[in-house]
Structure 1
Amino acid sequence: MTMLTKTIDVEVKAIGDEDSGLFQAYASVFNNVDSYGDMVVPGAFIDALKEYGAKGEGIPLYWRHRMDDPFMNLGATTEAREDEHGLWTESQLDLTNEASKYAYKLLLEGRVRQMSFAYDILEASWVERKPEDGGSYYELRKLLIHEISIVPVGANQETEILAVKSARDAAVAALIDARQKADDAALTPDGSVSVDDQGTADEPTDANAEEPDGANAEEQKSGPSAQHLGLINIYAAQ
C-alpha cells in the first residue's frame, strides 16, 4: 500500500497569545473534486480518528511530510474532528523546537497557509457523472490518516502550470506573427518576391542573413522556458 498526500489552501487561525503555539485549520474538505479528480466524503476519517485520542488528539504534525527528520516533527493535534466542512484540527506546536517556532511565525504572518495530510485508502470507488454535472470522480470513502503537515506550496498546481503553458503559447504566437509580417513586407504589391530580396544561393542577401537573434533558438521543441518568460519556478506537487 502506497502512502499518499493531499493538500488544501485553508485559513489557518492562530489562537491564544503569540507564544501559545496553538492554531486551528482544516486538513481536508469534503465534497470537493480536487485537481487529481478525487473527492473526500463525510465519514472518511471517522474510524481513523478512533486510533488516536478520544478527541482526535495525538495526530503527529510535520513540516511538509518530512517524517525522515525528527526536527520536522513540529507537534501534534490537541483535537481533530469531522464537521460539515471537512476535517477540522487544532494543533499544538512544540515551541522548544526551533523549527516549530519558525513555522509558527510563518503562520502568524500569513506566509504559509496550506495544510496537507498523509493517508492510505481503505475504501474508495469511481463515481460516474455527466460532464454537465462536473464529470466523474474518485470518491474517497474511508481513509487511514498517518499525519498532518504544514506545507508552503500545495499539491494543486494546475493554475500555475496552465499559466506557464499560456505564456509559452503566447510567445510562440508572437514569433509566428512577427515572421509573417516580415514575409509580407518582402512582397511587392502584386504578391511576388522583390528581386532585391532574393540574392543567390552562394551569396545570400543581408535580408536573409539578418534573421533576428534568437529566432532559431526559439524554435526548440520545448518552447521558451518559464524563466525566460519572467515566471517563477513552480515547486513540485507535495
Structure 2
Amino acid sequence: MNRKSASIQYRAFEYDVKSVGEKGAFSGYASVFGVVDSYNEIVAPGAFVESLAQTRAKGRSLPVLWQHRVGEPIGDWKMESLKEDAHGLFGDGQLWLDDAPYARIAQRGMASRSITGLSIGYYVRQSSYDEKTKLRTLQQLDLVEISVVTTPANDDARIETVKSKLAHGGLPTLSEFEQLLREAGFSKTQAAVIANRGLKHLLNRGEPGGAGGDVAGLLGSIQFPKF
C-alpha cells in the first residue's frame, strides 16, 4: 500500500481498561472486532497482524497520542504485548508522567473512568464491501498510532477526528464535512450546500495528496470551537 495515495483514518472505541498503575502503566483493548461503527464499518480478526509484525521488525514502537495530536505524544505501547485475541487488539502501554503533562490527565481520567476512549489511527490496506448489508469490513490495517480521547462516542470527538484528517492531508466524508460546518455556525441548509459543492469539487480533482490542504484553505476564515 502506498501511503501517499491514501489518507489516515480514525476509529474510536470505549476504552476497555483492565488496569491503570500509579506509575503510568496501563493495559486494555485498543480495538475490538465485529462491532459496527457509525460509518457502517467493522474490524475483522487478523486486521493488525501484518502491520504489527512489520513495526516490530523495524525495531519501532507505537505512540500513545493525546486526542490524535501528533505534537502531543503522552506515552508508548509495548510492542511485545500488543496482540490480537478473540475480542480484539490487546496491549500494555506506558504513560510518560514525568515528561508529558497530558499523560497525567489521561492517567487520572482513566483511573476515575471519566476518560473512557481510545481511538486508532490507521491506513486501510485491504477491505471488502457488502452491497446487501452496506457494511464495509476492514480486513488489513496499517496501524500508526493509538490515542487517548475523552468521549469518543459524542459529536465533539468526531469533529476532532475530522480536523485530524485535514491536518494529515486527508478528506472527510460528506456527512463529516457538513457536521464540521454546522459546528462552525452554518445552518443545516448552508452546510449541505457548501459541503456538496466544495467537497465534491475537490474529490473530482483527484488530488489525494493535497486535498486536505485545499479543504483547510476553504475553511481558513472560519473560527472553530476549541476542544
TM-score range, shorter chain: 0.5 to 0.7
* C-alpha RMSD of matched pairs (Å): 2.9
Q: 2:149 aligns to what? A: 151
Q: 1:11 aligns to what? A: 16
Name which of 67, 88, 91 aligns with 2:90. Answer: 88
Q: How does 1:116-195 map to 2 (within 5 A)?
A: 116-129=119-132, 135-154=133-152, 157=155
For 1:117 and 1:106, the matched residues in 2 are separated by 18
- Large movers: runs of 4+ above 2 Å: 51-54
List runs of 5+ in structure 1 lacking aligned partners.
130-134, 158-220, 223-235
Residues 1:86 and 1:53: Cα distance change in structure 2 (over 3 Å): same
For 1:149 and 1:5, the matched residues in 2 are separated by 10
For 2:129 and 2:63, the matched residues in 1 are separated by 30
Deviations 1:99-158 (A, max 9, x none): 2122111111111011011000010110234xxxxx33001000001100000121565x
Q: 2:107 matched to 1:104?
A: yes
Q: 2:65 matched to 1:62?
A: yes
Name which of 47, 52, 55 aligns with 1:52. Answer: 55
Q: 2:34 aligns to what? A: 31
Q: Is the 8 A contact 1:10 1:115 kept in 2?
A: yes
Residues 1:140 and 1:45: Cα distance change in structure 2 (over 3 Å): same
State the one-letter code of the partner of 1:153: T
The alignment's TM-score, normalised by the length of structure 2, stands at: 0.61
Larger Rg: 1
Number of equivalent positions:
154
Q: 2:77 matched to 1:77?
A: yes
For 1:113 and 1:29, the matched residues in 2 are separated by 14
Residues 1:143 and 1:156: Cα distance change in structure 2 (over 3 Å): farther
**Higher share of residues assigned helix:** 2
List runs of 5+ in structure 2 lacking aligned partners.
1-5, 156-186, 189-224
Q: SS of 1:12's equivalent?
A: strand
For 1:102 and 1:23, the matched residues in 2 are separated by 14
Deviations 1:9-56 (A, max 9, x none): 1322324xx4220111211111121110101100100001012337x9
The alignment's TM-score, normalised by the length of structure 1, stands at: 0.58
For 1:33 and 1:156, the matched residues in 2 are separated by 16
For 2:103 and 2:75, the matched residues in 1 are separated by 8
For 1:63 and 1:27, the matched residues in 2 are separated by 14
Q: 1:185 aligns to what? A: none
Q: Identity over the aligned pairs, expressed in percent? A: 31
For 2:60 and 2:119, the matched residues in 1 are separated by 17
For 1:137 and 1:43, the matched residues in 2 are separated by 18
State the one-letter code of the partner of 2:124: I
